[in-house]
Structure 1
Amino acid sequence: MSGAGRIGGDVVVRTLRALGADTVFGLPGQHALGLFEALRRAPDLRLVSARVENNLAFAADGHARARLDAAPDGPVPVTPMIVSTGPGALLTLAALQESRAASVPVLGISSQIPLAGLGGGRHGYLHELPDQQAAFEGVVKSVHTARSVSQIPAALRAAWESAATAPFGPVWVEISQDVLLAPATAPDITSVAAAPAVWEPLAEQVSTAADLLSAAENPVVLAGGGVRRGGAGAELLALAETLRAPVLTTFGGKGAFPWEHPLSGQSWLEDTHSREFLAGADVLLVLGSGLGELSSTYHTLRPRGHVVQVEADAGKLGSNHPGLGIHADVRQTLRALLDLLPRRDPDGGAERAVAGLLASIRERLDAQPLEVEQRVLRDVRAALPPGTPSFWDMTILGYWAWSAWNADGAPMHSAQGAGGLGFGLPAALGAAVAGAGPVLAVSGDGGAMYGIAELASAVQHQLDVTWLIIDDGGYGILREYSTGAFGQAHATELVRPDFVALARSFGVPATLSDVESLRADLVESLSTRGPSVVVLPATLRMFEPTHL
C-alpha cells in the first residue's frame, strides 16, 4: 500500500470528520490496518486506544455520555469506535449491550475479511466468522455495510443518523479489508448532512394526556433516562411546577430533576414506599422509561390509576403496563403538554406528600445498621469537586448510589442498563477524553479485574481519573443475594492482587484508605492531575430489599 495515495480508510476517516467527530476510539488489527493508516494521516482526529476491545467500547460509551451531559441542546454527539475483524469485534458486544440498554450513541466500525471470502463457504481467513453481521444484529440498533469505497460515505451517514435518532444507541458498520485498502478516486469528503429523525407527538394523544393530567387530583411523574438523554430537564421542571406534581426519577434518569426540589421524591425505587407512592397516583406520567425491572421495583409496581407513557422506543410502549402510549421525543411532548395544561395554584399538598415519602424512607434506613454504608457514600459525594462526573460498576456501593446519589452538579453513570461488570474505569477514561476531568470511577474488586489493564491506557493518555476500588474479597452483591436466597454463597470469593502495589507498578499513584480517611484521600487524589487509585478494604451491605 502506498503511503501517499488515498484509500478507502481515508474515506472513512474524512467522512467521520465531516459528520462532526473529533475523537475516535480504536484498537488495531490485521484487517483494519487501512483505517489506522488513515488515522495516522488525520491530525485533526484524535485517536484514543485501550488494551481490550470491550473496554474500548465502554470508553466510547463514557465519552458519548459525557458529551451528552455537556451539550444537551446541541447536535447529538455520536462517538466512533474502530476495531478489527472477528475476535476484536466480538469482544465489544457486552459493552455495546450496555450502550443499547442505556441509549448511548456509539458508532462501531469493524473491518471484515476480503470480499472474496463473503457470502459463501468457509475460506479459512484469519478471524473469519460465518456471519459477523448476525452477531451484532441482536445487540445494536442497526447494522450497515460498505462493499465498495463509493458506498462508505452513505453507510456512515446512515449509521450516524441511526445512532443519533431517539432512542439513541449503538450502531455497527462493517467494511472489508480490501475495500479499506482500495484506491479512493472519488472527491474528498468535507461535509455530510446527517439528519436524525425527531419523533413528534400526535396532537390527539397529547390532547388526551393533557385532559387526564388536568383532571388528576394526584398526578405523579416518573422520569427516566429518556428525559436526561433528551436534555428535557427544563421542560420537566416546568411541567412539575405547573401541575404541582411530585417527580421521582429512575436510576438512569438521575439528574433529570433537582434532587432537593420540594417536589422531588428522588430515586429510591427499590423501596416499597416509593413503589406505593407511584402506584397511588390517579395519573402516572412516565417519561422516557419502559418501566423495566429496576424502574418498576422488580415488576411489583401495580398502578391503580391511569398510566401515560411517553417513549421514543416504540417497542417499550405498553410492554409492561397498559395505558396511553405516546411514541415521541420526550422534550417535544413536554413542550406540547405545557401549551395545554393550566397552571395550578400551589397548596402545599404535593410538597407534604413528598416530604412524607422521604421521611418514611429515612425512618426505614435509620432502623437498619447501615451507618458505615451511608457514611462512605456521603463522603464520596462530598469529596467531588463541582461538576465531577462518576462512573459506577455493578458493586454494592453502586447499588446504593442508584438510590441515594445526589446527581445535581455531579452526574452519575452506571452499568445498570445491561448490568455487566467492568464498566467503571474504561467509561470514566472515555469521559476524561471528552474533557470532563477530573472523573471518578468506582468498582468492586471483582469488577476491577475486568478493567485493570486500562491503567496502562490511563497512563499512556494521561487521563485525569481517580479510581476508587472497594475491596471486599469477592463478588459482594452476589454473595449477599446468594446468602439471602440459600443461606450461603458459592463461587463468590476471589483471590485478588494487592491493588495498591499493582497500580504503582503501572506508574499510577495509589493510596490504601479506610473509612475514616476516605474523604480526605479522595479529595487529594481528585485534586492531582492524571490517573490515581484509592483502595478501600470494606465489606458493605445493601439496605433491606423491601420489594420482596
Structure 2
Amino acid sequence: MRGADLVANALKAEGVEFVAGVTGGSTMALYDAIHSAGIRILVCRNERGAADIADGYARMSGKPGVVLVEQGPGAINALSGIANSYPDSVPVILLMGGVPQRFVGRTAYQENDLMDLFRTVTKWEMTVPLVERIPEAMRRAFSIVSAPRPRPVAIEIPANISSANCEDATLTYEPLRQKHFRFRAPGADIERAADLLAKSQRPMVLAGAGAIWSDATAELVALAERLGIPVATSLAGKGSFPENHPLALGLGALSRARYNTKQAAYCADQSDVVLTIGAGFRQQGTRGFSPLPAGKKIIQVDVDPSEFNKSYMVDLALLGDAKLVLQDLLAALGPKPRNNFWGGVEALKKEIAGLRKATREGWMADLTSDAVPINPHRVIWELMHALDPAKSLMLHDSGSPRGLICYHWESPAPKTFMAFGNQSCMGWSIGAAIGAKLGAPDKQVVALVGDGSFGMTGMEINTAVRNNIKVAYVVLNNGGFDLTRVQASKAFNKPPDFPWMQLSGDIAKVAEGLGAHTETVKEPGAIKGALQRAFAAKEPAVVEIYTMVGAPEATRI
C-alpha cells in the first residue's frame, strides 16, 4: 500500500464525495489512489477555481470541501481561494504535493516553504514527514475542520511520501467517531442575558453566519416571536432569519452596514439592547468601525472567544454554540409570550412593513427601468420574478453585483443565498456555484457576476460543462470595474476617464467556446426570455447582459 492509498482511504472513510484540483507530478500517485477508491475527481482549469469549488460545497453542505493541488505554483494558485475561506470560517482541507524530501533546501524545482505561505490563512498546517504519519495527519485535519469555528487546514505530502510503500496493517484509517462539537454557555451567563432582555424596552437581534453554521433558524424565529422583537442579519447571515417574516429587518448592523435597510437602521438607532448571534463586527458591517450610539448594551453570542470585545466592548459575552445558547435562553425567559417591547408587537410590525414598502417604492424606478444600456437593478427585478427563492440558491460576486442582489433579494430560509465577504476575492462565485450545486443538487443555483470577476475565473465554466454540473451565471457587462469607477468619481470629484478601469470582450462567445448555453441581452424586454431559456437549458448557462455604467448603488437608506 502506498502513502497515497492511505490518503484515499481516509477520504473515503470520512465520506468525501469529490476532490477538486489540478494534477501534476507530485500528486500523480494521490490522484491515482483517489480515483481507484471511487471518489469523484473534478479536474479544474485553475487551482484557485478548485479552492472556490470546495468552499462553495462546504458552505452549502456543511461538510469539508477537499482540494488537491501540485507543489509550488499549484499550491500558490490556490492561496487566494483559501485566504477567502479563512475569515468566513469555511471548512476546507487543502492537500498539496511537495518536493521530495531529499531535495528540500537545495532550491529544488518548484520548492517553496508552503507551511509559511499558508500559516496565516489556515487553522492548522502540517508537512507529513513519514508515510506512517499520514493517518494521523488526515484524522487531525478532519477533526479541526469539524471544530466549533471551522477554518481551512493544509497538509503538504512530499512526492516520495505519497509514492512510498507501507505494509503496516495497523495504519488502517478509522473515521472520526464524533463529527460535530457543540458546547453551551454557562447557566449563570444565560440568566444574566435573559434578565438584560427582560428589563429592556427595545431589544433587537443581529444574526450572522454563526447562526447558519449552527442551524439556529428555528430558535431565532421562536425567540423573535415569543418576545415580539425584530431581527436583522449581517450579509453573511442573510437567510438565517426568514426575510419574509413580519419581524425581519433584512440586512443591518451596529450601527450601519454598507448595505443596510431602512427598517434595520431604524431599529438599530432605537434599540437599547442588541443580542448578536454569531456575528462579527467587521469593517463593512460597521461603516468602518463607526462608534456605537451611547446607551446600547450588547450581548454577544459566539463560539470563538477572540471575537469578544474586539471591535466594540460587549456588556455580556456568551461563549457557546448559537443553537444551544438560544435554546437555553428561551428556557430561561419562560414560555409566556411578551408583547410590551417596542410599544407592542403589532405596532412594530406595522413600522417595519411601512419602511419596507417605502424602500421598495424608492427603488421602483430603477427596478422597472427601460433604460438602454440596461439598468442593473432591472436585472435583479427580473431575477426576483424568474426564480422561486425557496427552491433556489443565489450567489453574488465581489463589487457592485453584491450590493445589487443582497439589497433586493429576499431570502426565506438559510442557504437560499450564499454570501462571502471579508477578503472578497473577485471571481469566487463562479467556482463556488459549482461546489454549491454539488452540495444541493436539487436547487436552481444562480450566480450574479460582473464582467471584471468573470475575467478572473471564468474558465471554470468549462469545469461545470465537462462534469455536467448545471449552474447558471448572470454576467453584468458594463465594460469595466464599475464599483472602482464609482469610488474614483467620489475620490476625484469627477467622472473617471482612466483607461485602466475599462474592459472589453464578448463574454457570451467565450462561454460558448467553453461549452455553455449562452444568451446575450441588450434590451430590458429580452431579459425575461433569456433567463427562462438559461434556467431550462440542459447544460450550464451564461446570460451576458449589457448594463449601464455608474448605476446607483444599493446603499442609500
TM-score normalised by L of structure 1:
0.91
- Aligned to 2:543, which of 530, 534, 539? 534
Cα distance, 1:202 vs structure 2: 1.8
Secondary structure (helix, strand or coil) at the match of 1:138 reads helix
Deviations 1:490-517 (A, max 9, x none): 3553333211222222232211113222
Q: Report the more deviating stretch, 435-444 or 310-319.
A: 435-444
Q: Judging changes above 3 Å, is the alpha-carbon distance between structure 1 residues 8 and 146 closer, same or farther for their aligned structure 2 residues?
A: same
CA contact (8 A) 1:59 1:429 kept: yes
- Aligned to 2:423, which of 408, 418, 421? 418
Cα distance, 1:432 vs structure 2: 2.4
Structure 2 counterpart of 1:419, one-letter code: S
Distance 2:555 2:35 in 1: 52
Cα distance, 1:488 vs structure 2: 3.3
- Aligned to 1:517, which of 517, 522, 526? 526
Cα distance, 1:20 vs structure 2: 2.1
CA contact (8 A) 1:384 1:523 kept: no
Cα distance, 1:433 vs structure 2: 2.7
CA contact (8 A) 2:23 2:70 kept: yes
Secondary structure (helix, strand or coil) at the match of 2:87 reads helix
CA contact (8 A) 1:222 1:287 kept: yes
1:73 maps to what in 2?
none
Structure 2 counterpart of 1:431, one-letter code: A
Cα distance, 1:339 vs structure 2: 0.8
CA contact (8 A) 2:261 2:407 kept: no
Cα distance, 1:518 vs structure 2: 1.3
Deviations 1:462-507 (A, max 9, x none): 1101111110000011111111221233355333321122222223
CA contact (8 A) 1:393 1:424 kept: yes
Distance 2:365 2:470 in 1: 39
CA contact (8 A) 1:246 1:263 kept: yes
Q: Judging changes above 3 Å, is the alpha-carbon distance between structure 1 residues 203 and 527 closer, same or farther for their aligned structure 2 residues?
A: same
- Aligned to 1:326, which of 294, 318, 321? 318
Q: Determine if the alignment matches structure 1 residue 306 to structure 2 residue 297.
A: yes
Distance 1:357 1:301 in 2: 25
2:451 maps to what in 1?
445
Q: Judging changes above 3 Å, is the alpha-carbon distance between structure 1 residues 100 and 491 closer, same or farther for their aligned structure 2 residues?
A: farther
Deviations 1:348-386 (A, max 9, x none): 233234234434544654698984444321211222255
Q: Which runs of no fewer than 5 residues in structure 2 stay unpaired?
A: 370-374
2:308 maps to what in 1?
317
2:473 maps to what in 1?
467
Distance 2:506 2:159 in 1: 42
2:184 maps to what in 1?
200
Q: Judging changes above 3 Å, is the alpha-carbon distance between structure 1 residues 308 and 112 closer, same or farther for their aligned structure 2 residues?
A: same
CA contact (8 A) 1:424 1:441 kept: yes
CA contact (8 A) 1:437 1:465 kept: no
2:403 maps to what in 1?
399
- Aligned to 1:355, which of 349, 353, 356? 353
2:277 maps to what in 1?
287
Distance 1:369 1:358 in 2: 15
1:432 maps to what in 2?
437
* Root mean square deviation of aligned Cα: 2.2
Q: Judging changes above 3 Å, is the alpha-carbon distance between structure 1 residues 356 and 298 closer, same or farther for their aligned structure 2 residues?
A: farther
2:495 maps to what in 1?
488
Distance 1:165 1:292 in 2: 22
Q: Determine if the alignment matches structure 1 residue 344 to structure 2 residue 354.
A: no
1:159 maps to what in 2?
141
2:18 maps to what in 1?
23
CA contact (8 A) 1:11 1:184 kept: no
2:372 maps to what in 1?
none
1:58 maps to what in 2?
52
Cα distance, 1:79 vs structure 2: 1.4
Distance 1:359 1:374 in 2: 17
The number of equivalent residue pairs is: 529
2:122 maps to what in 1?
140
Distance 1:66 1:368 in 2: 32
Distance 2:544 2:399 in 1: 14
1:174 maps to what in 2?
156
1:13 maps to what in 2?
8
CA contact (8 A) 2:520 2:544 kept: yes
Distance 2:360 2:85 in 1: 33
Distance 1:364 1:522 in 2: 25
Q: Determine if the alignment matches structure 1 residue 377 to structure 2 residue 383.
A: no
Structure 2 counterpart of 1:95, one-letter code: G
Distance 1:11 1:368 in 2: 57
Q: Determine if the alignment matches structure 1 residue 265 to structure 2 residue 255.
A: no
Secondary structure (helix, strand or coil) at the match of 1:193 reads coil
Q: Judging changes above 3 Å, is the alpha-carbon distance between structure 1 residues 271 and 67 closer, same or farther for their aligned structure 2 residues?
A: closer
Q: Which runs of no fewer than 5 residues in structure 1 stay unpaired?
A: 1-5, 69-76
Deviations 1:438-481 (A, max 9, x none): 32122111110111211221221111011111100000111111
Q: Judging changes above 3 Å, is the alpha-carbon distance between structure 1 residues 352 and 300 closer, same or farther for their aligned structure 2 residues?
A: farther
Structure 2 counterpart of 1:404, one-letter code: H
Structure 1 counterpart of 2:504, one-letter code: R
